[in-house]
Structure 1
Amino acid sequence: MNLKIVLTFLMAISFCSCNGQQTNANTITTATPMPINRFDKALFQLINSDDTTLNRQLLEQYPQMTEILGKGVLNMQSPDMPGFFIKLENFYSEPTLKNLYADAIKKYDSVTEIEQSLGNAFAWIHETFPAMQIPALYMHVSGFNQNVLVGDSLVSLSIDKYMGEDYPLYQDFFYDYQRRKMQPSHVVPDYIAGWLMSEYPFNGKENVLLDRMIYDGKIKYLVLSALPDMAPAELFGYTNEAWEWCKNNEANIWKAIVERKHLYTPDQMTTLKYFEDMPAQFLASDAPGNIGSWVGLKIVSQFMKETNATPETLMKNENSQEILTLSKYKP
């Protein structure tokens, strides 16, 4: 089984074009809801019980999810390994994590609205990408570990990362700019982005800024298309002031990237700075984080406008330079 772990900082970001509309935007609002398999509740029952028969029940009911969690969170390759369930219970029995788990289960006891939003979004994805497999959806708790777990036919979200920015425990572990993304409103876009990244993995040069920009821009463009009602600033984890700063300084941002020769230079440390959530003070004192994704999305949106390409054509084009050139992006 292939296990892919998708990290939060590359996802859950959207963008609004100048007129607030997008040609490929989803108009489906009454699709069949996408059911979420509550692996999180089943595991919580296990760790709060002395009944060892629940181990076998969990494995029989959620075989793939149990294996994926073991690999992604416990670093154990198979539930058949000796001590698997002992390690599982010990991990989740840590008092702070156990309290977090209980809070998460309570907050997400009902997920009806989330399931409807996912149904609408994945209906658009199926319509736009007919050959794409639609995954089974799950929820888990990782203790701030792996936020999104993706298997061959499933995607699972760690709900303890979506408790709301004012959740008390977050104050001890996360900065303000990180907590702004840890909202219930990020659950649906993170499911979608996680699956899209799995179906269209990054094939460019990891250290080259342009390649990373365009890839992130593609994913964010599709997330916006699937969820046209999502507020761009909120999805970026930006304040309204930060969003306006990006819009007002777009030309200066691009000029700084080009003049510093960052666009093509394969410098890993430099490239990573453009995708961190922390404020991009290496560009300007007021610059918010994740500037690379913001610019990448601007380029991709302009490319789609100039070429009238379909989303499927966009995702099949892995030539970042060609997309930049055809976009005629010159802020």
Structure 2
Amino acid sequence: MIAKTFLTVLFTVTLFSCTGQNTNTTNYAETTPMHIQRFDKELFALVDTKDTTMQVQLRKQYPQMLDILGKGILNIQTPDDPNFFPKLITFYSEPTLKQLYMEAITQYNDISDIEKKLGEGFNYLHANFPSMQIPAVYMHISGFNQNVLVGDSLLSISIDKYMGKDFPLYQDFFYDYQKQKMQRHNIVPDYLAGWIMSEYPFTGKENVLLDRMIYEGKIKYLLSQALPEITQADLIGFTEQNLNWCKEHEEDIWKAIIERKDLFTPDHMTTSKYFEDAPSTHLANEAPGNVGTWVGWQIVNKYMKETNSTPEALINANAQTILEASKYKP
């Protein structure tokens, strides 16, 4: 089996250098698909053939991807290192990883549907954030490691993390609540979330629940507007049963947060429990994970209804202002 050192948290963004009115006015009929550069296929050709003459072309065509991959996965600072390509080939030649690599690029041979949806998503972002730079987009394989790589004008997804919840190899490594997020329909939201988070990084207090909730809620709101055809459950990685539980117990969840005084208490362990993918058993045995993000999304939805704010103003508003103006009271 693949060494457990390949494993990391399910949604990792590595940086280098529920309901609400949909206000999306993007004309999807006029949207141009987003071209995704297949670094994954080009690199596999080198790994499979071990043809060293291909290294020159790879370095010429994908200098940033090689640099980021080396730093993020191989722990090598530069492709100029004489050990770079030998170590890279050795890493991807591990039998189980190589088989995973082959199955991933086979499953994702045709990505026209992803390119179309990605074009729609970035069209929304460009319309609402005119100064936002649009990146060059790639695909890579990480061996269950870094699934989103972000660099200067570069964005890449590790497609081996999106092989479907029933993919045999996942059964040995991931829980059901993790596998729920490892499906094809999660790729475009994760691309967009990775880029939004890189352009508008979290600036609040990491240990304060309200700050974290509102930031995550902002991201989910923007994704719901950019990708209106994707269900609420899929955007947050819930089953429909998970989503319905949250809707039915929204008042109880909020009441518990307030009564426990968790909203403003700067305690890392308490705050982190609300964003873990594992079930939120500290709230109720039936509660899904990531309840903090779901509540934050509801607050942001309410805020946008109450204020009719723009997406750009939303992303720059602070958490306390959003909570107060939202008049959130489930």
The alignment's TM-score, normalised by the length of structure 2, stands at 0.94
Aligned equivalent of 1:44: 44
Q: Please say if 1:321 is aligned against 2:320.
A: yes
For 2:266 and 2:181, the matched residues in 1 are separated by 29
TM-superposed deviation, 1:26: 4.1
CA–CA distance in 2 between the matches of 1:16 and 1:329? 13
Output the amino acid matched with 1:58: L
| CA distance, structure 2, for counterparts of residue 129 and residue 234 of structure 1 | 24
**Counterpart position of 1:204:** 204
State the partner residue of 1:180: 180
Aligned residue pairs, count = 319
1:32 counterpart SS class: coil
Which residue identity is paired with 2:137? L
Aligned to 1:3: none
Rounded to whole Å, the distance in 1 between the matches of 2:53 and 2:63 is: 15
CA displacement, residues 149-208 of structure 1 (integer Å, 9 cap, x when unaligned) = 000101000000010000000000000111111000001111111100010000111111
How far residue 89 of structure 1 moved from its aligned partner, in angstroms, is 0.8
On the 8 A contact 2:50/2:89 being kept in 1, the answer is no
Given that 1:29 and 1:120 are in contact with CA atoms closer than 8 Å, whether structure 2 keeps it comes out as: no
Q: Residue type of the partner of 2:225? A: S
Q: What are the ranges of 5 or more consecutive residues in structure 1 without an aligned counterpart?
A: 1-5
Find the counterpart in structure 2 of residue 16 from structure 1: 19
Distance between the aligned counterparts of 2:56 and 2:89, measured in 1? 14
Q: Residue 263 of structure 1: CA displacement?
A: 0.7
The residue type equivalent to 1:60 in the other structure is K
- Partner secondary structure for residue 138 of structure 1: strand
Contact 2:223 / 2:235 at 8 angstroms: preserved in 1? no
With the length of structure 1 as denominator, give the TM-score of the two structures. Answer: 0.93
Q: Aligned equivalents of 1:283 and 1:9: distance in 2?
A: 23
| Aligned equivalents of 2:9, 2:327: Cα separation in 1 | 31
**Equivalent pair of 2:12/2:146 in contact (CA under 8 Å):** no
In structure 2, the residue corresponding to 1:299 is in which secondary structure? helix
Distance 1:259 1:75 in 2: 46
Contact 2:214 2:300 in 1 (8 A): yes
Deviation at 1:75, TM superposition (A): 1.5
Contact 2:12 2:147 in 1 (8 A): no
State how far apart, in whole Å, the 1-side matches of 2:321 and 2:101 are. Answer: 47
> What is the aligned-residue identity percentage?
62
Q: Which has the higher contact order (CA 8 A, sep 6+)?
A: 1
Task: Report if aligned partners of 1:25, 1:225 keep a CA contact under 8 Å in 2.
Answer: no
Q: How far 1:86 sits from its partner (Å)?
A: 1.1
Report 1:1-331 matches (<5 A): 8-9=10-11, 15-17=18-20, 21-24=21-24, 26-317=26-317, 319-331=318-330
Report the Cα distance in structure 2 between the residues aligned to 1:238 and 1:94, rounded to whole angstroms. Answer: 33
Structure 1 residue 28 displacement after superposition: 2.5
User: Given that residues 25 and 228 in structure 1 are in contact (C-alpha distance below 8 angstroms), is that contact kept between their aligned partners in structure 2?
Assistant: no
CA contact (8 A) 2:177 2:277 kept: yes
1:101–1:160: 8 Å Cα contact kept in structure 2? yes
Unmatched 5+ stretches in structure 2: 1-7
Cα displacement (A) at 1:27? 4.5
